[in-house]
Amino acid sequence: MIIHESAENYLETIYMISKRQGNVRAIDIATELAYSKPSVSVAMKNLRENGYVANDADGHIRLTDAGLEIAKRIYERHTTLSDGLVMLGVDPIVAAEDACRIEHVISAESFEAVKKWINKMKRSESDEQ
């Protein structure tokens, strides 16, 4: 199934907030992404209808197994690409912004090659120290 970039961003954001603070509310997502609460509500409805998120008894948003799989994949891409760009000398803020754009369009094959190279460079750096 094809999932759009905006849905990937929402899933990744839910994942990051849940790692940071546990429970996730729509207002947390709106604050994190600087989106309006109505926009987040519409997105959550769409993600819920497609089986990527669910609400618990207290109304907290949680990722389903399908949503968690996508969120983890996007998060790994984001952190790996961001780390790699920083290793190349890119400012960390710029690297994070660029990684956010790249993570949605890079093919699985290209990402695996980049990840392998970045991990090799990290090992090389730690061996030098």
Rounded CA-CA distance 19/15 in Å is 6
Separation CA 17–CA 71 (nearest Å): 11
State residue 126's pLDDT score.
74
pLDDT at site 1: 56
> Percent of the chain beyond pLDDT 90?
87
CATH of 74-128 among 1.10.10, 1.10.60, 2.60.40, 3.90.930: 1.10.60
- Report residue 54's pLDDT band, with 50, 70 and 90 as the boundaries: very high
Distance in angstroms (rounded) separating the CA atoms of residues 63 and 128: 40
Between the alpha carbon of residue 74 and those of residues 39, 87, 104, the distances in Å are 21, 20, 7
pLDDT for 116 beyond 90: yes
> DSSP character for 22?
S
Q: Summarize the confidence of residues 11-39 as an average pLDDT.
A: 95
Average pLDDT for 3-10: 91
Predicted structure pTM score:
0.88
Read off the pLDDT of each residue in 75-104 and give the average, rounded to a whole number: 95
Q: What is the predicted pLDDT for the residue at 125? A: 78
What is the spatial distance between Cα 118 and Cα 102, in angstroms, rounded to a whole number? 15
Residues of the chain with CATH 1.10.10.10: 5-69
Distance CA 100, CA 45 (A): 23
Domain 5-69 has CATH 1.10.10.10: yes
Q: Would you say 3 and 51 are in contact if contact means Cβ atoms under 8 Å apart?
A: no
d(CA 60, CA 77): 26
